[in-house]
Amino acid sequence: MVDTPNVTGVRQAKQAARERRLADALRQNLRRRKEQRRDRAAPEDHDATQDDNAIEPPGSQA
């Protein structure tokens, strides 16, 4: 039976750091995808907000 070689402390630290980076990236990806699904499920009425915030050209309010 073949035993796996012992992993040095430096290598363990590198692997742990890599796993933390991957876990962070996965969490960010899931958060972004969740936000995208929420935005697609309930789109805002952008036309109404743009009309409410529109700036009238000079002289049009006569």
Could you give the CA distance from residue 9 to residue 44 in angstroms, rounded to a whole number?
52
Q: How far is CA 41 from CA 44, 46, 48, in A?
A: 10, 15, 18
The CA-to-CA distance between both ends of the chain, in Å, stands at 92
3-state helix, strand, coil in the chain (%, to 5): 65, 0, 35
State pTM to two decimals. 0.52
pLDDT confidence of residue 51: 54
Encoded tokens for 29: 């990806």
pLDDT confidence of residue 50: 52
pLDDT digits (tens, 9 = 90+) for 5-60: 777 999 999 999 999 999 999 999 999 999 999 999 986 655 555 555 556 666 66
Q: Contact, 15 vs 7, CB < 8 A?
A: yes
pLDDT confidence of residue 47: 54
